Amino acid sequence: MMTSNSVIKYQKDICVICDNDNLEEVLSLPNFPLTGIYVDDYNTEKFMPADQALLFCSCCQHAQLLNHLDPVYLYHETYTHRSSLSPIAKRGNDFFVDYLDTLINGRKFKTILEVGCNDLYMLEKLSSKGEHIFGLDPIWEGRESEAKTYENISVLGKFVEDINPANDLNSSPDLIVSTHTFEHINEPKEVMKQLVDLAAPGALIAIEVPSLDTLLELNRFDQVFHQHIHYYSLASFKYLINSLGCTYVSHTYNYSYWGGTMLIAFEKISNNENFDNQKNITRRAIDSSISRFKAQLSSFNDLINIQRDLSKIYGYGGAQMLPTIAYHLDSDLSWCEAILDDDESRNNKMYPHMPVKIIKPSADFSLADSAVFIGALDSARPILNRLISLNPKRILHPLTIM
């Protein structure tokens, strides 16, 4: 398959957190597929793979992608994610609000700003915690009036750097929240500085991002993909907080979301204490995690080859990230009968350049004579419950931790 490297907008080989210019390439991903795209015909000339690589900064313990793809290409109209339509995202937002409640202890805010408000699922949960609630997301550009809002909620269809505080906000936010946005931003330190400058003195800021620490713990390198430019460790995010002149408050992990997302809170208060950047990640630890990841998928390939001789094989879960699993298996999944998924919007869809169809199983569908592998790894537990009703001959999981 040819690679569409023409969509690489630029390369970033300097750490965006600490400006270290001696990053190490820890994972090469040539001809790496796009994710989150569903098409009617896999045999398309669109959405070609592009070369990618994962870099690691030993100074602040941050990881980032080398190649930044053109957002117009990367976030095509077929790439969609809406929080209220995703059970995982809804549970994740609920967890975030619960964490926030432990920090604020009933405190009411004058102005709350959510960066990356998506379809307002979490913003509406925050409506009782502040006098004025603002949501910021470019997906609402030109459609602000269409937003379903509570009386005290306003939506801004723009980027952070485009905010005009005097015109857009009633006052400087004393609470800023953001979930699953800062892994997508090309220059997160610059955007975070803009938010800190925008915030009121003493403001609380709470951010959720995928965790590099848990990725390494679980050997989940299938979670590295083009849309996630950054992979924050606890150490690198603390470094970022300190560099902004702010004070770390607390952090926690949501182990039910992507194997463990990181939620971290800090305040716009200068910390005069010496910063202690504890470094827990080594290049050797990364290499070991990659080796374990590859060994697990090699064993899974062996299992697939055995089952192919004994029965048909289906997948279950037409996840956005399934193309990365196929990539690391060095397979187009053509040995798979179909990918089963209960989402009607994915029925009869395919992934670009993968000749396997996604189908919604009928009420009387049975897997009694077939093996099935879990294709949506981050929904493995609920999928297991669903598979029990379908009574498969065998259930296979590409990795060993769920």
How many other β-carbons are positioned within 10 Å of the β-carbon of residue 47?
Answer: 23
268/274 Cα distance (integer angstroms): 17
Residue % of the chain over a pLDDT of 70: 94
Tokens describing residue 370: 């077939």
Q: What type of residue is 42?
A: Y
Rounded average pLDDT over 260-267: 96
By the 8 A CB rule, do 61 and 19 touch? Answer: no
Residue 148 scores a pLDDT above 90: no
Q: Is the torsion defined by CA of 137, 215, 342, 332 positive or negative? A: positive
By the 8 A CB rule, do 103 and 265 touch? Answer: yes
Q: Which pLDDT score, from 0 to 100, does residue 195 have?
A: 94
Burial of 104 per CB tally in 10 Å (0-12, 13-18, 19+): middle
Beta strands in 187-311 (DSSP E): 204-210, 230-231, 247-254, 261-267
Q: Is the pTM of this model over 0.85?
A: yes
Q: How many residues does this entry show for the chain?
A: 402
How many other β-carbons are positioned within 10 Å of the β-carbon of residue 393?
Answer: 15
Residue 15 scores a pLDDT above 80: yes
Rounded average pLDDT over 217-243: 96
β-bridge mates for residue 27, sequence order: 54
Q: Which pLDDT score, from 0 to 100, does residue 339 have?
A: 98
**Which residue ranges form the domains of the chain, and what is each CATH number?**
5-66 (no CATH), 83-283 (3.40.50.150), 300-396 (3.40.50.720)
Tens-digit pLDDT profile for residues 163-192: 887 788 989 999 999 999 999 999 999 999
Q: How far apart are the first and last CA of the chain?
A: 32
Residue 80 scores a pLDDT above 70: no
Q: Which pLDDT score, from 0 to 100, does residue 3 have?
A: 67
Helix/strand/coil for 178: strand
Beta strands in 96-239 (DSSP E): 109-115, 130-136, 153-156, 175-179, 204-210, 230-231
Q: Which pLDDT score, from 0 to 100, does residue 262 have?
A: 97
Kindly state the DSSP code that residue 315 receives in the 8-state scheme: E
341/144 Cα distance (integer angstroms): 33
